[in-house]
Amino acid sequence: METVIGNPLIKALIILFLLSATTAAGDAPFIISHKKASLTRLKSGAERVSVSIDIYNQGFATAYDVSLVDDSWPKDLFDIISGNTSNSWERLDAGGILSHSFEIDAKRQGMFHGAPAVITYRVPTKVSLQEAYSTPILPLDILAERPTENKLDWAKVMNGSFYIC
C-alpha cells in the first residue's frame, strides 16, 4: 500500500499550493527605505543637518496611502529650517521611488544617534496598515571640534610640490 505523501497526485497538489502561496506573497508591495544625514558647519557654534529619505517599492504591487514620519529629531536639540519631518503620498507604484528631504539646525554640541524613519502604507488585500522602517543614520558628532585645514597646504599636495616649512 502506497503512503498518502507518496501519492503523485498529493505531491502535485502540495507543490501547487506552495507555488501559489509564494506567488501570492510576491504580488504585494515590498518597501525599502534609506535615510541619510549630512552636516554643514555654518559658522562657529552653528551646524545644519540635511536629511534625505528615499522610499523604494521593490514589490510587484502598488502601495497606497504611503506615509513617512521621522520623529527622531527632538525639538529641544533641533530647529526645523526647511521642509517637514513627515510627508504623505497617495501611492507608490511597483518599481517606484519617493524622496523626501528637510533641513534642521542643531542647538547643542554632542553625539546624536537618530532612529529609523517609519513608513506606513496600505495594501488593498489587507485590513491593517503595513509598516516599514528606513535604515538608521550613522551617529552624528554635532558641533564637534574639527581641526582647521590650511587650504594652501592642500593645494601644494594636489600639485605634487608639498614642502615642509
**Number of domains making up the chain:** 1
Burial group, residue 128, by CB count within 10 angstroms (0-12, 13-18, 19+)? exposed
Strand ordering across the sheet containing 78-82: 31-43, 46-57, 97-106, 78-82
149 or 137, which is more confident? Answer: 137
- pLDDT tens by residue, 95-132: 999 999 999 999 889 999 999 999 999 998 898 999 99
Q: Is residue 146 one of the residues assigned to a domain?
A: yes
Q: Is residue 55 one of the residues assigned to a domain?
A: yes
Kindly state the cell numbers that stand for 55. 522610499
Q: Is residue 85 one of the residues assigned to a domain?
A: yes
List the domain range (segments joined by +) for residue 36: 29-159
CATH of residue 48: 2.60.40.1530
User: Confidence band (pLDDT; 50, 70, 90) for 156?
Assistant: low
Q: Is residue 17 one of the residues assigned to a domain?
A: no
Q: Is residue 122 one of the residues assigned to a domain?
A: yes
Q: Is residue 2 one of the residues assigned to a domain?
A: no
User: Confidence band (pLDDT; 50, 70, 90) for 143?
Assistant: confident
Residue type at position 114: G
- pLDDT tens by residue, 36-95: 999 998 876 789 999 999 999 999 999 999 999 999 999 999 999 999 999 999 999 999
Q: How far apart, in whole angstroms, are the C-alpha atoms of residue 24 and residue 17?
A: 11
Q: Is residue 132 one of the residues assigned to a domain?
A: yes
| Paired strand residues for 38 | 50
* Predicted confidence (pLDDT) at residue 142 exceeds the cutoff of 60: yes
- pLDDT value at residue 163: 46
Q: Is residue 165 one of the residues assigned to a domain?
A: no
The DSSP letter of residue 143 is T
**0.75 cut: is pTM over it?**
no
11 phi, psi to nearest 5 deg: -60, -45
